[in-house]
Amino acid sequence: SGFSVGGLGSFSGFDDNELYGTQMAILRLGSYHPIGRLPAALGSRVLAGGWIEAGNVWDTRNEVSSDDLKVALTLLVAAETALGPAYLAVGTARGGSTRLYLNLGHRF
C-alpha cells in the first residue's frame, strides 16, 4: 500500500494523486474565517481561508529526507449555497505549478 497526494486539500499545486510513495510526511497549517453571508434564498455563510503545506512522499524509508520537501500554498473562498458547497481556490507548489479549482455542489 502507499500514499497518493496532490489536488485540492493535499498539495494543491500538483495534479490529483500526482505524488505517490509508501512513506509520507506532511505538515499542514491553515485557517478559515467567515467573511460574510449570502442572501437567505441563496445560502448562508461565505468563508475565506488558506493553508500552507510542507512534506513529500518517498518510495522507501531510506529516501525520507528534509532535503527534498515540497512546499505548497492554497487560498480559498467558499460559500454554503442552496445548491451545496461552492468554492474557488488556487493552489501553487514549489516543484509543481499553479492550479485553479472551481466547484459548485457536492463532489462524488
Identify the pLDDT of residue 106. 80
Three-state DSSP at 89 gives strand
CA 54 vs CA 11, 22, 27, 80: distances in Å: 8, 17, 5, 29
Identify the pLDDT of residue 62. 93
Identify the pLDDT of residue 108. 63
Identify the pLDDT of residue 63. 93
- Average pLDDT by consecutive 10-residue portion of the chain (108 residues)? 89 92 95 95 95 95 91 96 94 89 84
Three-state DSSP at 7 gives coil
Whole-prediction pTM = 0.85
CA 35 vs CA 13, 47, 103: distances in Å: 25, 5, 19
Identify the pLDDT of residue 9. 85
